Amino acid sequence: MQARLKKLPDLERMLSRVYTYSQQTSVKAIYIDVGVIARLDEFHKLLSVLGVIRDMVTDIFTNDVVKGIKSKRLKALVTFKGKRNKVNLMPDYGDLLDEFKSMIQWKAVGTKKIPEPTPG
């Protein structure tokens, strides 16, 4: 478990960078150059990390484990919020990640990944 957590990059820093890039380009026209591709590559890495975190939470906090937790607050923090269950605090962003992944195909060119929109 600790080994898996150590492999994760600094999520707060990644989110901050992606947010800053989005604010800088919200007013300007976007030209595809090396900097934009690097930012999109960073966004791709962020999506991957969020997927890994989601998988880790579901692997660790199975239904049996959650049933054994006595603290209501801890249960709410480690259980995904559903359409019928509004009490839980962890948002279920799995569908959103899948939607982003379906919109963009990433082709590997050397060590970088180049985005291409999917048809449609």
Q: What is the pLDDT of residues 17-39, one digit of tens each?
A: 888 877 776 555 556 677 777 78
Amino acid symbol at 84: R
pTM of the model: 0.73
Q: Has residue 2 been placed in a domain?
A: no
Q: Has residue 70 been placed in a domain?
A: no
Q: Has residue 105 been placed in a domain?
A: yes
Alpha-carbon span 89 to 75, nearest angstrom: 9
Is residue 78 within 8 Å of residue 67, measured between CB atoms? no
Helix segments in the chain, DSSP class H: 2-7, 11-25, 34-60, 63-68, 72-78, 94-103
Is residue 118 within 8 Å of residue 106, measured between CB atoms? no
For the chain, what's the residue count?
A: 120
Alpha-carbon span 41 to 15, nearest angstrom: 13
pLDDT at 32: 65
pLDDT at 31: 61
Question: Which residues, 6 or more positions from 107, have their beta carbon under 8 angstroms from its beta carbon?
Answer: 113, 114, 116
Q: Has residue 1 been placed in a domain?
A: no
pLDDT band at 120 (very low <50, low <70, confident <90, very high): low
Domain count, the chain: 1
Alpha-carbon span 29 to 3, nearest angstrom: 42
Q: What is the pLDDT of residues 49-105, one digit of tens each?
A: 999 988 988 888 888 888 899 998 888 888 888 766 677 888 888 888 888 888 888
Q: Has residue 100 been placed in a domain?
A: yes
Q: Has residue 79 been placed in a domain?
A: no
Q: What is the pLDDT of residues 40-55, one digit of tens each?
A: 788 888 888 999 988 9
pLDDT at 26: 59
Residues spanned by the domain of 34: 9-60+92-117
Q: Is 70 exceeded by the pLDDT of residue 13?
A: yes
